[in-house]
Amino acid sequence: MNDRSKKSFDEFYQEQWNKHWPELKESLQLESPKLARLNQWAIENTSQKIELDLPFHFLWSEKKTLFQNEHNLSAYYLMDFASCLPVLALDLKKNDSLLDMCSAPGGKALMIIEQKNSGENIYLNDSSFPRVKRLYSVLKEYLPKSKLAQIQTLHSDGRFLFQKDLSSFDKILLDAPCSSERHVLQNVKELKKWSPSRSRLLAKRQYQLLKAAWKLLKVNGRLVYSTCSISHLENDRTIEKFLTQKKIQAKVIRQDWPLGESTQYGWQVLPTHNMKKLGSGWGPMYISVLEKL
């Protein structure tokens, strides 16, 4: 990274985060912690659990050795705790029809299937064919064949999914492509390529994805928008732009998680936030929950 691009990156986020930027930047440069979320189809009991008072399966505090089981499946999936929150925000019911619009690599998709205890009425989409292949590989590693066979996997640009012959959905998860500053700061090549236009262009794409998702959402349905970005342009400002459109009739559903803080239109987890049982370092993750009126 040359000095000019470094200064540009710092100036861009300093302007948004002011005095909080130095601490936030430092936390983003550290390795993201992970928890091992148990696979309900591979394991029933374990001696080392963490009870989080949240409606999903127990987590292991440390990575354990994989083992054989009845279905020859992996016993756990490693993921950032903050990445679990968008799935919980969907408030899934057994008979809900669901679209995961940008589904790869598949950690959230696995949680969705576990929450419903079924693969029925679930559509998983990604715009990149290599990512769709990776998604299917993850599903195959963690799901019994009976569940895997129920799922519809799509390869399409989410902005144009509404043009396909799809029914409308009760719930939609839009975990949108974003700046992913944690990855950028930890990757010299990515940081060299970074420019202020990156976030602006991504925000434009995210807005287009939101509009497309809205067309596929049933009245009274729920759309969960999430990113792993810290750019306000891609988070609250994108939601604000979407909500100010005349044809959009929506209600923001407020959340209150044990980790993170409220924003104007949603909730944000930053690595600087601390959770009593799990400590800090999680995220970043932004979540906005919208109900279609």
Q: How far apart are CA 19 and CA 54, in angstroms?
A: 33
Of 226, 253, 216, the residue nearest 97 (C-alpha): 216
Instruction: Please report, for residues 5, 13, 30, the alpha-carbon distance to residue 26 in angstroms, rounded to integers and kept in the order given.
Output: 18, 13, 7
Task: Tell me which residues are annotated as active site.
Answer: 228
Q: Which amino acid is at 2?
A: N
Residue 140 is classified by DSSP as H
Q: Rounded to an integer, what is the distance from CA 69 to the centroid of its chain? A: 29
Cα–Cα distance list, 37 to 22, 124, 202 (Å): 32, 20, 30
Neighbours of 143 (CB within 10 A): 24
Q: Which structure tokens are listed for 159?
A: 């902005």
What's the farthest any 2 CA atoms get from each other in the chain?
A: 56
